[in-house]
Amino acid sequence: MSNITGGWLNQCTDGTCAGGIGKLYLANANQVTSISTNASAACTAITMTSTASVFYEVEFRENSGAFTETVTQDPDTLSVAIEQSLTGVINCRDQELRNLIQDMANQACGLVCVHVENTGLYWVWGVETIGGKKRPARLTSAEGVSGALFTDSNQETLTITCRTTNKARFIVNGETVMGLLD
């Protein structure tokens, strides 16, 4: 059981916070041992199984990456389900991208994801263990399109999804934390 321990006040920003995903980092879920959190449940460190285990950077086409997190609570049972989904477009299909998609599709252990929003904030998801079971993220679709016209985009659209009961966790000093893991 949890109690509400604080509120949220308007930050008086000039308009809205910048949308979109700047970068995505992926790691094999079986190579992430744990995350450390502070008193407010924000991530302060990510521990990997060895120094050879790393996060790999994926760059999406500018203005094409978006993260969605939907929280649903059943009014009768009060059970909470959260679906996290990141979709992004990568231009110019090639063998390296083909191999990445094939590896993601064949990854039985799942993925741990860190995305960087265009606000500069880092968020980790796909790392939660709930009821003794890991809840990793998984590639749920990859659509490759060659385009019909010379001016059409040759691209892959990737969607990575995770079903869990915890929202993505903010990473305190995200650039420093991730700098130690790539």
pLDDT score of 69: 97
Task: Please state, for a pLDDT cut of 70, what percent of the chain lies above it.
Answer: 91
43 beta partners: 37, 171
Q: What are phi and psi of 93, to 5 degrees?
A: -60, 140
pLDDT score of 18: 76
pTM above 0.85, yes or no: yes
pLDDT digits (tens, 9 = 90+) for 41-76: 999 999 999 888 889 999 999 999 999 999 999 999
Interatomic CA distance for residues 80 and 71, integer angstroms: 7
pLDDT digits (tens, 9 = 90+) for 1-27: 566 666 656 666 665 677 889 899 999
Q: What are phi and psi of 86, to 5 degrees?
A: -125, 130
pLDDT score of 14: 61
